[in-house]
Structure 1
């Protein structure tokens, strides 16, 4: 195995970042960083887990920055800055490195993919519209598929259609392929096609002050109680969930992760009850029972954690 010092000579992630604002140079720099071998990856992950070695964590992050760049390119169609998408993906990567367990027998790239996509998805959903357009699992799936499916429809002449609204036939196709109700497709299309409202219009043409919705919005984000509640939610959603999962057996943990925590490329969730039943050779009802018992145990763990 090559010496760890040779694998990544750069000690700090900031050393590879070029001049401020030069995104192309940053992408070029991270693409030149060498990937770690499986043995090197396990060694650095072990140092981080056992000794809290931050230098080892930095090397794990550095070797996967190119993965973030690759994933972020898939989300450029939402009109958000590429640099911001990369930044959010890097946050997800760092979360993955912090929680990565080298004893699980998987490579960091597979484990980090979920965290990177989750952070980018959350950023898009929060910033693409001031009002959230997708809150439920089904709505998220619609949000990340509606645009691409709409662009892929063909008109009668065989050319891609650019209609502003969907036809009844197109709505039926989307509902069937995404396994949602046609009313949900119509609702999401309405949300996504709605116009944005300027919160702060600035001075009016006559020089007088113009008023917009921002004048009526109070910023309560820094209110102490709200800050404490937000911090507690963050801890419960990360460390609390991780601790609760650790208390489950391998089968129960995988069922919960597939059913509730996994996010696919299209924004949908993991395996269904029937798919898990086929894999484990039991009935779907048995999988549901295992899931229910695991969730009950996790709720007790989260209550104790809180």
Structure 2
């Protein structure tokens, strides 16, 4: 019987490259055979990033095949390949949160948890790429981590800005940008400048830039915080 995927599987000291519990990595994974897990910490961050950047990005057909295997059969080897091939995307997003004073390794780790949740919930029959589906889960997990550590609230030094932070976080059903009218409405309700609303939203979402998968057309482009 296949084991149920758990977020705790990637919280280990060798996570996420040693994720899903196996002591050795299956040879079918999209990784070189001599690649060993590196503990994710500030001291090993450079080595970790080199590893994840060397993992090939999956093509659409291969991703679909793996996702179907996971969706239908609970195939953990397929889950590993899906997670591993998207780790570089998590680091790309995590770099957009450097300004919060939190260890980048920890931010990446939280983003990896979001990625794993996304892989577990991804329905390959919906017709979107995994990276487009996962970006919201990754960001949401990072945002929760930031909130737990209060650093972003400390950055917002005034009472009005702190109120704005919680207002934006609680009211936004998606992690997209507010339109112009919504910005003005929030600013008026909270008694702050529209520029304060846009700045705080930028802190929550990061500066967006196109993140294109190799070989994809514009329809496959997704967005992630700039480095």
Instruction: Tell me whether the two structures share a fold, i.e. TM-score over 0.5.
Output: yes
Cα separation, 2, equivalents of 1:7 and 1:36: 11
Provide runs of 4+ in structure 1 moved above 6 Å. 138-141
1:85 aligns to 2:90 (yes or no): no
Cα 1:19/1:42, change in 2 over 3 Å = closer
Cα separation, 2, equivalents of 1:106 and 1:139: 27
Cα 1:81/1:106, change in 2 over 3 Å = same
Q: What is the root-mean-square deviation in Å for CA atoms of aligned residues?
A: 3.7
Cα separation, 1, equivalents of 2:40 and 2:134: 27
Cα 1:103/1:138, change in 2 over 3 Å = closer
Which residue does 2:221 correspond to in 1?
Answer: none
Residue 36 of structure 1 aligns to a residue whose secondary structure is coil
1:178 aligns to 2:188 (yes or no): no
1:17 aligns to 2:38 (yes or no): yes
Indicate the structure with greater helix content. 1
Which residue does 2:224 correspond to in 1?
Answer: none
- Summarize the alignment of residues 95-244 of structure 1 with structure 2, pairs less than 5 Å apart: 95-129=117-151, 133=162, 134-137=165-168, 178-179=183-184, 180-182=186-188, 184=190, 186=192
Shift of 1:177: 8.3
Judge conservation of contact 1:10–1:16 (CA < 8 Å) in 2: no
Judge conservation of contact 2:67–2:78 (CA < 8 Å) in 1: yes
Cα separation, 2, equivalents of 1:98 and 1:139: 25
Judge conservation of contact 2:113–2:138 (CA < 8 Å) in 1: yes
Judge conservation of contact 1:7–1:36 (CA < 8 Å) in 2: no
Which residue does 2:17 correspond to in 1?
Answer: none
Cα 1:42/1:138, change in 2 over 3 Å = closer
**Which deviations, in whole Å up to 9, do the C-alpha atoms of 1:31-71 show, x marking residues without a partner?**
11101111111111111111111111011000000000000
Cα separation, 1, equivalents of 2:82 and 2:51: 16
Cα separation, 2, equivalents of 1:183 and 1:102: 41
Cα 1:176/1:266, change in 2 over 3 Å = farther
Which residue does 2:91 correspond to in 1?
Answer: 69
- Rg larger in 1 or in 2? 1
Runs of 5+ consecutive residues of structure 1 not aligned to the other structure: 145-174, 190-263, 268-306
2:58 to 18, 36, 53: 36
TM normalised by structure 1 equals 0.44
**Which deviations, in whole Å up to 9, do the C-alpha atoms of 1:215-259 show, x marking residues without a partner?**
xxxxxxxxxxxxxxxxxxxxxxxxxxxxxxxxxxxxxxxxxxxxx
Shift of 1:125: 1.9
**Which deviations, in whole Å up to 9, do the C-alpha atoms of 1:262-306 show, x marking residues without a partner?**
xx9469xxxxxxxxxxxxxxxxxxxxxxxxxxxxxxxxxxxxxxx
Residue 58 of structure 2 aligns to a residue whose secondary structure is coil
Cα separation, 2, equivalents of 1:130 and 1:72: 15
Judge conservation of contact 1:18–1:25 (CA < 8 Å) in 2: no
Judge conservation of contact 1:80–1:128 (CA < 8 Å) in 2: no
Residue 85 of structure 1 aligns to a residue whose secondary structure is helix
